Structure 1
Amino acid sequence: MRRSIIITSLLTIIAITFIIYLTPSSEDFDPSNPYWNGFSSLYKAHHPQLIKGSLDERLLRNPSNTILLIVGPEKNFTEYEAWILRHFLEAGGRIILADDFGSGNELLRSLGADVRLNGSLLVDPLFKERSMRFPRIRNLKVSGVDEIVFNYATILEGCGKPLAFSSSYSFLDLNVNGRWDKGEPKGPFIVACELDVGKGRLTVISDSSIWINSMLEMRDNRMFLERLIGDRSL
């Protein structure tokens, strides 16, 4: 999956070009992709601005009214981009990082955060949506959100302020054989957490697919996003 960065602001909303709308993309997380792996449903609901390419200091113009959603990053961020993101957070911006098997850990290191993505597959043979690889997350510390569903996710380590846990029946399928084997860690595991950075907030979620078209309306996935946004616009 490629790196996708969505920036939204109360004051800055732009439209996608007609060419993109007329030629639907099949790329993961693309707001013009109407298929199962796209972000067209999220885009229609919230009209975020999509950034493709490098971040720059424009992100620092109005951080206190801005949310930056980073989904499934593949490539590492440059030192300059990491500097921009650190200053964005310190000035009151909010970042939501949704990742599982991408380069999210490199970004977390560059931001000085202790939390890490484990990188092993989380499964739950009891609390599941369609298969054990779609675990239902029922222990959440987010108002108005009772249950969310993940899609081929991992877990978080080193988190001081958890927002969500998998069930005690979940485990890490280290060899990806679809069953628990001796030595494989058992839950509950932390799957979402938040950190205060300066005046801002960093939220980390161990699934990059939670808000794609095929997942957005599952259980409280949409409400989870809206609660994380809070009084800001996405």
Structure 2
Amino acid sequence: MALTPLSEDSWLPSLTLPQLLLAAYTVLTIIALVYAASTSSAAFGAYNSQWDGAGELRTVAADAGANVTVGTNVSQYPTSDTDTTVAVVLSPAEPYSSSERARIAEFVRSGGTLVVAEDYRPEGNALLAAVGADARFDGRPVYDNRNYYRNSSLPEATPAGDYPETAGVDTVVLNYGTTVRAGNATTLVNTSEYAYLDTNGNGELDGEEQLASRPVVTSEPVGDGRVIAVSDPSIFVNAMLERGDNRRFVRNLVASHGDALLDYSHASSVPPVAAAVLAVQRSDALLLLCGVVLVGALLAYDRRLDEHLRDRLREYSGGDPDPNLSRDGVEKYLRASHPDWETAQVERVTEAIIKQRAERQRND
């Protein structure tokens, strides 16, 4: 059974119930596909809103007053005015090439701040070495049987002194993190004296494993810039930002910088829709192309709208009004022919007729 149009003037087509159900299913499918293409489930992902994603990191950086950029290419590291930029690298999954390492090293030497957060992957230490930092990630999990959040694998660390990065911070909570071998770097945050490195992986203090306070965040100057090593990228994920004073600590890392570059060039892939938006933002040519396509679509829609109005007019009147009538004459003609029309509808159809007349004159 066909559905009756909402009104005599409705533009909605008459649909059968199966057609209406199919249309609703199609719309829901499109919405689901767009959502899937614009979000990510990857750990530490900038577009992952789940507990293990870092979608909230962008909000924290923006709230700190920074202009946030999700970087998908090392070429986005600035080459000038670098002292206003902090770049954050969360557990890169792939190694940086020699040219990429050189670009990041130049960024740091010329005044930029680089934050590298890593626990067990080797790429973090490779990047620290490439930029000339002395700190290295230990790579063994750290436990604390006395000072922890819920269990010993979530140890609570405390500031090692009064530093801008630890202002207002009492505890930083790790989640299966490691420690930093500081070398000549300054320790900003360290574990309690009851922490130990689990060398044999059994989660217990035994053998030659020793209790000691160890660095988990360090800072050191490199050239005119600075490198901060954080021994647990989980500190930056959505769920862990709410543990201890992690959110305040992460905010402090960004607070003194006007720009924050979240380097995802060697991390999990960025969702297709987000990648497309980022590509357009970086390219003036793509931005111009999108503008041209949008304007073309609007013009095409406007033309189809005109054709629809003309068809509607013919449907009601059986033909067009006298082409010699003025605008007021067209309106009077329409009101006389269709006394049931609303004023807005009369004006809309009048405008379509006048516009059609102008187009015909130009074509002639």
Which residue of 46, 51, 56 maps to 1:41?
56
CA shift, 1:159, in A, is 4.2
1:109 aligns with 2:129: yes
Corresponding position of 1:221: 246
Contact 1:59 1:84 in 2 (8 A): no
CA shift, 1:19, in A, is 4.8
Q: What's the CA shift string for 1:103-138, capped at 9, x where partnerless?
A: 111111112222111110101111111111110012
Corresponding position of 1:164: 189
Describe the shift of the 1:140–1:222 C-alpha distance in structure 2 as closer, same or farther (beyond 3 A): farther
Higher relative contact order (CA 8 A, sep 6+): 1
> What TM-score comes out, normalization by structure 2 length?
0.56
1:123 aligns with 2:143: yes
RMSD: 1.9
Corresponding position of 2:153: 133
CA shift, 1:144, in A, is 1.6
Describe the shift of the 1:94–1:21 C-alpha distance in structure 2 as closer, same or farther (beyond 3 A): farther
Higher mean C-alpha deviation, range 106-115 or range 146-155: 106-115
CA shift, 1:177, in A, is 1.3
Q: What's the CA shift string for 1:46-89, capped at 9, x where partnerless?
A: 3531122x412652143121110000112111111111111111
What does residue range 42-191 of structure 1 map to in structure 2 within 5 Å?
42-47=57-62, 48-52=68-72, 54-56=73-75, 59-102=78-121, 103-141=123-161, 142-157=166-181, 158-191=183-216
Letter in 2 for 1:126: R
Contact 1:139 1:167 in 2 (8 A): no
Corresponding position of 1:26: 41
Corresponding position of 1:15: none
Letter in 2 for 1:38: G
Letter in 2 for 1:228: L
* Matched residue count: 216
Contact 1:121 1:172 in 2 (8 A): yes
Unaligned runs of 5+ in 1: 1-17
Q: What's the CA shift string for 1:173-206, capped at 9, x where partnerless?
A: 1122121002013221111100111211110010
Letter in 2 for 1:164: V
Contact 2:77 2:107 in 1 (8 A): no
CA shift, 1:23, in A, is 4.1
Higher strand share: 1
Contact 1:20 1:32 in 2 (8 A): no
Contact 1:140 1:147 in 2 (8 A): no
Contact 2:159 2:169 in 1 (8 A): no
Aligned equivalents of 2:35 and 2:58: distance in 1?
13
Larger radius of gyration: 2
> What TM-score comes out, normalization by structure 1 length?
0.86
Describe the shift of the 1:45–1:191 C-alpha distance in structure 2 as closer, same or farther (beyond 3 A): closer
1:203 aligns with 2:222: no
Corresponding position of 2:20: none
Percent identity, please.
29
Q: What's the CA shift string for 1:11-65, capped at 9, x where partnerless?
A: xxxxxxx95686431101112211111112222333531122x412652143121
Contact 2:60 2:251 in 1 (8 A): no
- Secondary structure at the aligned position of 1:131 is classed as coil
